[in-house]
């Protein structure tokens, strides 16, 4: 080999290493989230924009909500989770009991503008002094009605349970139910009723100790039974007859045979999009007899967290900042994750007229409503299984309300002690 | 064969052996170890001896319910599927025009049957406003709440499994075709009717294949997951909550891997015991070629 060729090879190697160094400053990241088609499309477009803005390439990993937690958990156990992870807020407490499960975002205040959230918004994601994620939006469970169904029947949308019972008398002969409480929604409603009756969160603050009595739960179940008996909602047996589908996939929902339901306001599109008849309007919380408050649960609907195993957490923080705090990215994402929690996110969408009145009203109703502080424990799979099983046994007539109340207190107590 | 030749054979099977070791043997033994621990994903594991097994067998009502449902499912599904597969194999053993097409067509559900898409299709067919109820009401019957009733919900899951009779059918068909025709000719000369020939010739000669299919179908039935997971999520009232679904939920919803592993080993023990019983009983009812029994 000649001296010339050796020099040429060395020059090439040097040039290659310079190129490699300059590319390394632009990170290759992964981001995982759950959602529907609208969210998937919007997020990928926003990520494309953020790649041009930050120089970091982000590989998207997305799916529906079903199975997301299972996948994320196995990834977390194997330390293979994406750099940027969309996490449902209660899961933070499963993955990060001591606050060390995710990167502490306070460390990246230079990359991620945390001043866009106030202290009360960030507080639920702080565990043991470490900020495990930033809230993407804030949500609460409230009532929504299909206005067209009520208008056609010459009715106002219900403002009380008595209105609902009266609506049932008029709508039932046409095969229409004024409301629905199937599966997860039934569980959410029974929890809200029990909170209204007791005036308490279901665990004593800061503990794993159940704060609802058997009477509180029995009262909630009796109200559900009253709804079934008065034709307000379908019986559990009829709901099960559709098969394992959520209400928004139920043909009865899309075809306008059900007049409304109870859900997290951040998931509005999921329920409104399948409607072939009418659209959903939010309503103030309905209180059952003896309610001590509105019983509306509020929580960060989801947070963006950074993996503690991320090779480039600073780059990840820059991408999150772009998605949630950059005006152009905010406009691309729109309301695909509900009403933004970040101040600039909310004002940008409002200024551009991207938020529908239904979205804004729903968020206002949730913000104005009184309710218990949401404990993440209520969404733990073991706790939810107890609610689901006992409510089902009651709904199928295998337990009286009192027996179900006793059983739920026993089983919840046991489940909570194991957490 | 020279020493080198033997080594060559080893190299050929090495990829399989590595796969068996990494994807079967190690997880298999790993789950046995985990079943004696309280291992939860994201948390450490402590050795707790037989505590998981004691809980499962003495105080876990969900396990008892799930075990009973699983046994009922297996008891209904396996004999029905074997009988149906044999019945169809008998038909397809005849000399009809285009029989090759029919044999392929009847095998298709076995290829599709276990898939998620077919389970979703099943859910739509048996839904309250689904195809089955539309047919029933059009001929004057009342619609049935297939999924809302604990009794009928298990029946729909069973039907999905029955529909996948193809693999058992193909094995029966091959066995039927291997039966010497002269035996039937001799029986016919002796005046035996077709039913008599079936019970005196066909069935005894098929017993080794029936035995094989019984074991295979029983093991598969105990592992049924897709149907109940997609169609009913184990409901209503846990009437379709088969043990694999319980293991899955314990492992991947509650992340209690230690307990889930213990349930899996209990299920393994149940399958093993039933298989041993089947082997033991086979001495009395399975007839092999060259068997001296009369």
Contact between B245 and B228 (Cβ < 8 Å): yes
> Would you tell me which CATH number, out of the four given (3.40.190.10, 3.30.565.10, 3.40.50.2000, 3.40.710.10), belongs to the domain A27-138+299-360?
3.40.190.10
Domain definitions of chain B by residue range: 61-285
- What average pLDDT does range A260-268 have in this prediction? 88
User: Which runs of consecutive H residues, i.e. helices, occur in B113-242?
Assistant: 116-126, 131-138, 150-162, 166-177, 181-189, 194-197, 203-222, 226-227
Contact between A387 and A231 (Cβ < 8 Å): no
Domain definitions of chain A by residue range: 27-138+299-360, 141-298+370-418
Of A243, A392, A396, the CB nearest to B127: A243
Nearest to A367 by CA among A264, A301, A296: A296
Does position A374 have pLDDT exceeding 90, yes or no?
no
> Would you tell me which CATH number, out of the four given (3.90.1300.10, 3.40.50.1360, 1.10.3720.10, 1.20.120.330), belongs to the domain B61-285?
1.10.3720.10
| Distance between CA atoms of residues B122 and A382, nearest Å | 29
Q: Which strand (E) or helix (H) includes residue A238?
A: helix A236-240
pLDDT at position B293: 57
Of A70, A74, A240, the CB nearest to B148: A240
Which of A68-82, A162-176, A263-277, A395-409 shows the lowest per-residue confidence on average (mean pLDDT)? A263-277
pLDDT at position B164: 84
Tens of pLDDT, residue by residue over A74-107, are: 899 889 999 999 999 989 988 998 899 999 999 9
The structure's pTM equals 0.85
- What average pLDDT does range B229-240 have in this prediction? 92
Tens of pLDDT, residue by residue over A178-223, are: 999 888 889 999 999 999 999 988 899 878 899 999 999 999 999 9
> Same topology for domains A27-138+299-360 and A141-298+370-418, yes or no?
yes
- CA distance to partner chain A, nearest, from residue B229 (Å): 9
| Distance between CA atoms of residues A139 and A156, nearest Å | 26
Residue among B39, B127, B232, B234 with most chain A CBs within 10 A, to mutate: B127
pLDDT at position A16: 45
pLDDT confidence band for B163 (50 / 70 / 90): confident
pLDDT at position A9: 47
Instruction: Quote the ipTM score.
Output: 0.83
Q: Which strand (E) or helix (H) includes residue A135?
A: strand A134-146
Contact between A297 and A379 (Cβ < 8 Å): no
| Distance between CA atoms of residues B133 and B152, nearest Å | 13
- What average pLDDT does range B58-67 have in this prediction? 94
Contact A398 B237 (CB under 8 A): yes
Does position A297 have pLDDT exceeding 60, yes or no?
yes
Of A94, A245, A396, the CB nearest to B236: A396
Nearest to A265 by CA among A394, A355, A373: A355
Supply B40's token pair: 């939860």
Q: Measured between beta carbons, which residues in chain A are less than 8 angstroms from residue B235?
A: 240, 244, 392
Residues whose CB falls within 8 Å of the CB of residue A220, separated by 6 or more in sequence, listed in order: A190, A191, A193, A194, A196, A197, A288
Classified as helix, coil or strand, B77 is: helix
Contact A240 B254 (CB under 8 A): no
- What average pLDDT does range B218-238 have in this prediction? 93
| Tally of CB atoms within 10 A around B98 | 8
Contact between B251 and B35 (Cβ < 8 Å): no
| Distance between CA atoms of residues B156 and A240, nearest Å | 13
pLDDT at position A18: 40
pLDDT confidence band for A403 (50 / 70 / 90): very high
Residue, of A413 and A298, whose pLDDT is higher: A413
pLDDT at position B214: 96
Q: Dihedral of the CA atoms B175, B177, B182, B186 (nearest 10)?
A: 70
Contact A236 B236 (CB under 8 A): yes
Q: Contacts by A8-15 with C-beta closer than 8 Å and gap 24+? A: none
- CA distance to partner chain B, nearest, from residue A93 (Å): 11
Q: How far is CA B125 from CA B146, B232, B242, in A?
A: 10, 13, 21
Q: Is B291 on the interface with A (CB under 8 A)?
A: no
Does position B114 have pLDDT exceeding 50, yes or no?
yes
CB-side exposure of A37: number of CA atoms within 13 Å? Answer: 2
Contact A70 B253 (CB under 8 A): yes
DSSP classification of residue B287: -
Tens of pLDDT, residue by residue over B138-159, are: 999 999 999 999 989 999 999 9
pLDDT at position B292: 62
Contact A237 B232 (CB under 8 A): no
Q: Which strand (E) or helix (H) includes residue A84?
A: strand A84-87
Q: What is the mean pLDDT of chain A?
A: 89
pLDDT at position B41: 81
Distance of CA A351 to the CA centre of its chain: 25
CATH H-level, domain A141-298+370-418: superfamily: Periplasmic binding protein-like II (3.40.190.10)
Classified as helix, coil or strand, B249 is: helix
| Distance between CA atoms of residues A64 and A382, nearest Å | 21
Contact between A182 and A250 (Cβ < 8 Å): yes
| Distance between CA atoms of residues B62 and B237, nearest Å | 11
Of A69, A101, A240, the CB nearest to B147: A240
Distance linking the first and last C-alpha atoms of chain A: 70
Contact A236 B232 (CB under 8 A): no
Does position B106 have pLDDT exceeding 60, yes or no?
yes
| Distance between CA atoms of residues B21 and B31, nearest Å | 14
Residue, of A76 and B288, whose pLDDT is higher: A76
| Tally of CB atoms within 10 A around A50 | 24
Distance linking the first and last C-alpha atoms of chain B: 43
pLDDT at position B290: 66
pLDDT confidence band for B291 (50 / 70 / 90): low
Whether a cis peptide bond, with omega within 30° of 0, leads into A142 is: no
């Amino acid at each position: 080999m000649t001296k010339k060729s050796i020099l040429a090879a060395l020059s090439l190697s040097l040039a290659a290493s310079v190129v490699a160094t300059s590319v390394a400053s632009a990170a290759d990241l992964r981001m995982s989230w759950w959602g529907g088609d609208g969210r998937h499309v919007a997020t990928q477009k926003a990520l494309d924009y953020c790649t041009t803005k930050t120089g970091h390439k982000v590989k998207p990993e997305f799916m529906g909500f079903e199975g997301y937690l299972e996948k994320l958990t196995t990834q977390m156990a194997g330390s293979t989770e994406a750099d940027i992870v969309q996490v449902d807020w209660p899961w933070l407490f499963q993955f990060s009991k001591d606050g060390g499960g995710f990167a502490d975002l306070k460390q990246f205040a230079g990359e991620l503008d945390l001043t866009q959230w106030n202290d009360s918004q960030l507080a639920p994601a702080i565990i043991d002094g470490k900020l495990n994620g930033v809230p993407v939006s804030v949500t609460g469970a409230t009532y929504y009605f299909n206005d067209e169904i009520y208008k056609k029947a010459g009715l106002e949308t219900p403002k009380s349970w008595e209105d609902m019972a009266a609506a049932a008398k008029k709508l039932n002969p046409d095969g229409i139910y004024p409301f629905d409480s199937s599966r997860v929604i039934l569980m959410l409603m029974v929890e809200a009723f029990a909170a209204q009756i007791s005036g308490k969160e279901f665990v004593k603050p800061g503990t794993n100790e159940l704060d609802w009595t058997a009477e509180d739960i029995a009262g909630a179940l009796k109200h559900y039974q009253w709804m079934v008996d008065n034709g307000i909602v379908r019986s559990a047996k009829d709901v099960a007859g559709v098969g394992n589908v959520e209400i928004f996939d139920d043909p009865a929902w899309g075809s306008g045979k059900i007049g409304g339901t109870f859900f997290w306001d951040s998931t509005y599109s999921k329920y409104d999009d399948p409607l072939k008849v009418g659209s959903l309007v939010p309503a103030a919380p309905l209180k059952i007899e003896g309610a001590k408050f509105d019983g509306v649960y509020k929580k960060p609907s989801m947070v963006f967290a950074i993996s503690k195993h991320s090779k480039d957490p600073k780059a990840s923080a820059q991408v999150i900042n772009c998605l949630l705090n950059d005006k152009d990215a905010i406009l691309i994402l729109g309301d695909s994750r509900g009403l933004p929690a970040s101040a600039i996110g909310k004002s940008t969408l409002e200024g551009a007229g991207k938020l529908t009145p239904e979205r804004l009203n729903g968020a206002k109703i949730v913000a104005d409503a009184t309710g218990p502080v949401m404990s993440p424990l209520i969404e733990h799979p073991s706790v939810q299984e107890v609610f689901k099983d006992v409510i089902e046994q009651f709904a199928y007539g295998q337990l009286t309300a009192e027996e179900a109340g006793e059983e739920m207190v026993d089983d919840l107590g046991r489940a909570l002690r194991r957490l | 064969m020279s020493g080198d030749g033997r080594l060559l054979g080893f190299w050929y099977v090495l990829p399989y052996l590595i796969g068996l070791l990494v994807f079967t043997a190690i997880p298999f033994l790993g789950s046995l170890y985990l079943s004696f621990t309280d291992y939860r994903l994201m948390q450490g594991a402590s050795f707790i001896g037989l505590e998981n097994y004691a809980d499962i067998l003495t105080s876990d009502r969900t396990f008892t319910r799930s075990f009973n449902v699983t046994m009922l499912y297996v008891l209904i599904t396996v004999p029905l599927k074997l009988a149906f597969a044999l019945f169809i194999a008998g038909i397809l053993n005849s000399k009809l025009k285009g029989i090759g097409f029919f044999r392929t067509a009847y095998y298709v559900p076995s290829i599709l049957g276990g898939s998620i898409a077919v389970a979703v299709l099943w859910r739509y067919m048996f839904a309250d406003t689904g195809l089955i109820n539309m047919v029933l009401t059009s001929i004057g019957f009342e619609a049935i709440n297939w999924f809302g009733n604990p009794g009928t919900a298990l029946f729909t899951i069973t039907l999905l499994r029955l529909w996948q009779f193809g693999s058992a059918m193909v094995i029966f068909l091959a066995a039927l075709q291997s039966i010497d025709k002269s035996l039937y000719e001799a029986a016919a000369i002796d005046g035996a009717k077709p039913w008599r020939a079936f019970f005196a010739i066909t069935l005894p000669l098929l017993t080794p294949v029936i035995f094989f299919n019984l074991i295979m179908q029983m093991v598969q039935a105990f592992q049924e997951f897709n149907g109940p997971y997609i169609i009913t999520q184990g409901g209503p009232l846990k009437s379709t909550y088969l043990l694999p679904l319980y293991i899955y939920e314990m492992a991947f919803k509650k992340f209690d891997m230690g307990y889930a592993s213990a349930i899996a080993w209990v299920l393994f023990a149940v399958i093993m015991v039933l298989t041993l019983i089947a082997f033991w009983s086979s001495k009395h009812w399975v007839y092999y070629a060259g068997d001296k029994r009369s």
